[in-house]
Chains A and B, each alone.
Chain A
Amino acid sequence: MACIGSKGELTESARKMLTALEHPASPEDVAARTDLPLFRVRAGLREMAEAGLVELQGASYAPTELGRSLLAA
């Protein structure tokens, strides 16, 4: 589940997950909000955290400035 496409744009699933993170949320909440399978959300959020698009705040994920800017682009 690559979160960034070949042109530096967010992939569809990454965009879905970032949109669901308007407020910090757990992977379970993101899965419920996006209708994506939980395993994909867990793997996707981990990958987005490695790419600096989201950060872990306790048990919840929140978008970073980079994540917000790519979502707005």
Chain B
Amino acid sequence: MASLLESTSQETLHPTATLAATASLPRLGSPAPDFEAVTTHGKIRLSDYQGTWLVLFSHPADFTPVCTTEFLAFAAIAPDLRKRNVELLGLSIDSVSSHIAWARNIKDKFGVDIPFPIIADSNKEVATLYGMLMPGESKTETSRCVFVIDPTGIVRAMIYYPLTTGRNTDEIVRLIDALQTTDKHAIATPANWHPGDKVIVPPPSTMEDAEARTKAGYECTDWYFCKKTI
């Protein structure tokens, strides 16, 4: 951080830039910040999800149209996610009464149950902890953030969308499939991968490995670019 400050003129920074604040934000591969929060299902701690994958996501506000389409979409993928040992947990800076009223409204107007808890983060504690507030967009609404946290509490993926753009929940399911496949088979997944597609064999780290893989039966375009079927 210090080197960045030294090499970057303050005049070139956007007025909302707060470099110091980014130091404590979640990082891929690091433990997710712990919290206890009031939700529509009672008080919940992050540690309650130990042993389960968690998709923690924020939305700007209850009773807004894009967020409503997102909640319908998240509710639609909830059964598929549960089959993958994944739970959903929503968040916004609204009260629990507002969340309950909105969920009931969605049930009334769209016939859809919201099966997952929603954090009522009125004091912005969790939103601040996870960097869900983007002052350049709004100081009072959380952006459309997604944090994928694995069963050991490690942040495995993060997605940030602006207020104006609803998320693609199919991509979240695809991301979970990719992460779980990576964990199970120690492989990587190529662009636009879906379950059933070939996967990437991690590049070799030694000359010996590079030579060995040419005889391992992989589908290799070159020594560093090999795929296989799982």
Contacts and interface: CB of A to CB of B under 8 A. Distances in A.
Interface string A3-41: 000000000000000000000000010000000011110
B43 interface: yes
B42 A39 contact: no
Contacts of B51: 28, 38
Contacts of B87: 37, 39
Contacts of A39: 44, 48-49, 52, 87
B82 to A, nearest CB: 8
A55 interface: no
A28 B42 CA distance: 19
Contacts of A47: 42-43
B107 interface: no
Given A38-B51, A38-B52, 7 more contacts: A28-B51, A40-B41, A40-B48, A42-B45, A42-B48, A43-B45, A47-B43
A1 interface: yes
How many chain A residues sit at the interface, stated as a range, is 10 to 19
Interface of A is mostly: helix
Contacts of A28: 51
Contacts of A43: 41-45, 48
Contacts of B43: 43, 46-47
Contacts of B41: 1, 40, 43
Contacts of A2: 42
From A1, A39, A40, A42, residue with most partner B Cβ within 10 Å = A39
A44 B39 CA distance: 12
A69 B215 CA distance: 70
Interface in B14-62: 41-45, 47-49, 51-52
A42 B45 CA distance: 9
Nearest to B54: A39
B52 A44 contact: no
12 contacts: A1-B41, A2-B42, A38-B48, A39-B44, A40-B48, A42-B45, A42-B48, A43-B41, A43-B43, A43-B44, A43-B45, A47-B43
